[in-house]
Amino acid sequence: MVEGRWRRAGSALLRVAVVWAVSTLTMLALAGLLPDFQLQSDDGDSITRTAVTAGWGAGAFGLLTGLVWPVVVRALLLVPALVLGLLVFFLNGSLLLIALWLIPDGRGTANPETAVVVAAVMSAVASATSTALAVRDDNAYRRRLSRLAHRRGRGRVAHDRSGPPGTVFLQLDGVGYEALRGAVDSRVMPTVAGWVGATHRLTPWRTDWSSQTGASQLGILHGSNHDVPAFRWYEKETRRIVVSNRPASAVELQRRAIEHTGDGGLLTVDGASRGNLFSGGADQLALVLSMAARRGRGNRSRAGYFAYFSDPANAVRTALSFVAEVGREVGQSTRARLRGDTPRVGRGGLYPFIRAFATVVERDVVVAAVIGDMLAGRRAVYADLVAYDEVAHHSGPHSSDAQAVLERLDRSIALISKVAEHTPRTYRIVLLSDHGQSPGETFEGAYGLTLKDLVRAGCGLPVSRRAERSKSGAEARDAARDALRTALHRQPAGDGEEERPASGSDPIVLSSGNLALISFPDVPYRMSCEEIRRRHPALLGTLANHPGIGFLLVRSEEHGSVVLGADGAEVPVDALKDDDGPLAGFGPGAADAVRRTDSFPHVADIMVNSMHDPRTGVVHAFEEQIGSHGGLGGEQSQAFLLSPFELSRPVPAGVDLIGAEQVHHVLRRWLREGDGPQVPIGRVEVSRPDGEAQEQVPVGGGAAPDENPQSSRHRVHGRQCRRGP
């Protein structure tokens, strides 16, 4: 044992010496190439003296980056992520200038701009050298990665791979079942292609009507997406617009889901949540939106950045990739514009930086966090990789841009799979998605006006000149005027004056992909179609008969609720069929999805779903997206599960997997499989922030007896919880 320790110590010293030597040679080469970087005195030095100077500078730079960099990054945790990414180069250059200042006799000098370049190159070379040396030795590679877990304070599980397995759930945001099949068949994702049919089972699952991350991930992680009718909606009782990807809304949605189910979430027992909208009840969090407002030490949403960016090589590599991705997006959008590609949306402004954050920074931080969780031996990890979804919105789900993102995601999956060979427990890796994406020109691009313009025109309200000149806008305005003339020619009311339709407040129109919600804020309840027709006689007919709209859902005083379609079609919700009437062509399960949403308390006065061409899969998004999701129609409603054969089938053969809530129950069952003897499911005591009485919430899943959760205390959507009997 002593001999082994000496051997490991000697091996570590040798690697340090090699990295130092390579860094010294790199500094010498850069000094010869860059005129503003100097390692000699003004009178000149011998080669030996210059080499010693370079070695001194390289050593000082290495020490500073190892000791000072983590402190600086922790101090900058509150800096916005995009700003931190841009500061990486400046901070690294500053450390190099300090290192040169520490060289005796002032032999090291560089301009600030040159120092940034030298520091970036040296960090990249040192990282590449260290990685190359470690990869040759599996034990060294394992120890190097394990240090990441211990540095994050999570190295607590004994290395016993014979114990219960852990499970990693990797969500490929927006990658539909058909998109994954295409990537597998074309070998765009070779790692995943090697799994399908060999080690893993591919299963499609059908989303709810609201086919978007907020609804799907809330259902998957917390077991309920009840009363989530869309990505954004208006709530009349509070006069608020709820948007799923806003921190305050995410907190509220998570709270409602936990109260609805009485359960803390999928990850309550020894779990980690990475890059998600919701926590799933996990103790370990990084980049979790519903926890973004928390200020406790180690619990900030950006805390996950520290573990990654505390390594200056990581910071420089990600920053360089960030800049490259911005350039890639500018080049791709420029070529698309020059070629005249259609459909096309604007990709200027801040979008290149937003895309680079999603495809580079978020991916790198989340993947590193997952690796740390696996090396710490956590029971369950759920992580969301959003890169494909972001690019597909603007480039199209089947574009070459999106395919390139899938290829890079496959490399991340391969890395995680490789790390699983070095973890203290075996891991089952499950890939899944929250929804797909459907292609198609935007509603505005196809018809020359936005849905909001069409609604206003149908209500007889002022619209933009462009909307007035469009065919749809002109027809809607004419229909509204004709309906108003008809209303004004009714019998006079009892007081001798004509009965005019009530005007009310302007409608609120909110878009969620190819699903839109129209609400009348001055009416405190869900309006009926009869009331809407009295107030705006032409509106429902204008919308239902528009070629870009598939169907409407409204409440009826006579029939309960009805779905309206073209040519006067009006079908009670209870009588809806998938293959007939307004929902024909929207796929199996459409009628049930509409019926379920109709039961939500916050369903809008008018729910609008765009048209869908079943031959091409095309829909029309009501926002600026040529790859969209949020409603019914096409690939957006088909997500996937890719699970190891060692896990049970998600559902029996021949049975469809429907809805995010059912997926939650499947994942919960998988977490229990292989855990060995089950302990009784515990309960957590939840203290409400308003000081009301505490409530008991069950801790789902049941921990295996040999597991040692880090803490018996849990936090559920920002509230203090204690494990009860």
**Matching CATH number, 143-158+166-440+635-724, of 3.40.720.10, 3.40.630.10, 3.30.565.10, 2.60.120.200:** 3.40.720.10
CA–CA dist 489, 502 (Å, integer): 15
What is the DSSP code string of 43-67? T---HHHHHHHHHHHHHHHHHHHHH
Q: What pLDDT was estimated at residue 84?
A: 56
End-to-end CA distance of the chain: 44
149, 171, 374: which is closest to 270 by C-alpha? 374
Please compute the mean of the pLDDT values over residues 675-681 and round it to a whole number: 50
Report whether 276 contacts 217 (CB < 8 A): yes
Q: What pLDDT was estimated at residue 715?
A: 35
Q: What pLDDT was estimated at residue 685?
A: 36
Matching residue, tokens 């940034």: 116
Please compute the mean of the pLDDT values over residues 477-489 and round it to a whole number: 50
On the question of pLDDT at 723 being above 80, the answer is no
Average pLDDT value for the chain: 80
On the question of pLDDT at 333 being above 80, the answer is yes
Q: What pLDDT was estimated at residue 32?
A: 74
Q: What pLDDT was estimated at residue 601?
A: 96
Tell which wins on pLDDT, 539 or 309: 539
pLDDT band at residue 100 under the 50/70/90 scheme = confident
Tell which wins on pLDDT, 326 or 131: 326
Q: What pLDDT was estimated at residue 697?
A: 42
Q: What share of the chain is helix, strand, coil (3-state, %, to 5)?
A: 45, 15, 35
Please compute the mean of the pLDDT values over residues 175-185 and round it to a whole number: 97
Q: What pLDDT was estimated at residue 102?
A: 75
Q: What pLDDT was estimated at residue 492?
A: 45
On the question of pLDDT at 446 being above 50, the answer is yes
Tell which wins on pLDDT, 209 or 158: 209
Please compute the mean of the pLDDT values over residues 515-523 and round it to a whole number: 96
Q: What pLDDT was estimated at residue 295?
A: 52
Q: What pLDDT was estimated at residue 398?
A: 95
Length of the chain as a residue count: 725
Range with lowest mean pLDDT among 62-76, 178-192, 323-337, 583-597: 62-76
pLDDT band at residue 592 under the 50/70/90 scheme = very high
Burial of 185 (0-12, 13-18, 19+ CB in 10 A): exposed
Q: In the chain, where are the structural domains located?
A: 2-136, 143-158+166-440+635-724, 443-488+501-625
pLDDT in tens, 70-79: 666 666 554 5
pLDDT band at residue 452 under the 50/70/90 scheme = very high
Q: What pLDDT was estimated at residue 73?
A: 61
Q: What pLDDT was estimated at residue 83?
A: 55
On the question of pLDDT at 66 being above 70, the answer is no
Question: Rg of the Cα trace of the chain?
Answer: 29
What is the SS3 assignment for 646?
coil
On the question of pLDDT at 692 being above 50, the answer is no
pTM of the model: 0.77
pLDDT band at residue 135 under the 50/70/90 scheme = very low
CA–CA dist 388, 208 (Å, integer): 21
Q: What pLDDT was estimated at residue 704?
A: 34
Q: What pLDDT was estimated at residue 725?
A: 28
Please compute the mean of the pLDDT values over residues 641-661 and round it to a whole number: 95
Per residue, what are the HEC states of 356-385?
A: HHHHHHHHHHHHHHHHHHHHCCCCEEEEEE
Range with lowest mean pLDDT among 271-275, 317-321, 356-360: 317-321
Q: What pLDDT was estimated at residue 86?
A: 57
For residues 438-470, one letter each, b for 16 or more C-beta atoms within 10 angstroms of the residue's C-beta and e for the rest, the string is: bbbbbbbbbbebbbbbbbbbbbbeebeeebeeb
On the question of pLDDT at 151 being above 60, the answer is no
Q: What pLDDT was estimated at residue 246?
A: 92
pLDDT in tens, 496-515: 343 444 456 789 999 999 99
What is the SS3 assignment for 611?
coil
Task: Tell me what percent of the residues of the chain surpass a pLDDT of 90.
Answer: 53
Range with lowest mean pLDDT among 21-25, 120-124, 335-339: 120-124
pLDDT in tens, 36-48: 777 776 666 677 7
Could you tell me the CA-to-CA distances from 17 to 14, 129, 709 in Å, in that order?
A: 5, 11, 40
Matching residue, tokens 């890939």: 431
pLDDT in tens, 219-270: 999 999 999 999 999 999 999 999 999 999 999 999 999 999 999 999 999 9
CA–CA dist 285, 305 (Å, integer): 11
pLDDT band at residue 203 under the 50/70/90 scheme = very high
Cis geometry, peptide bond prior to residue 343 (ω within 30 degrees of 0): yes
Q: What pLDDT was estimated at residue 7?
A: 65
pLDDT in tens, 393-435: 999 999 999 999 999 999 999 999 999 988 889 999 999 999 9
Matching residue, tokens 């500094």: 27
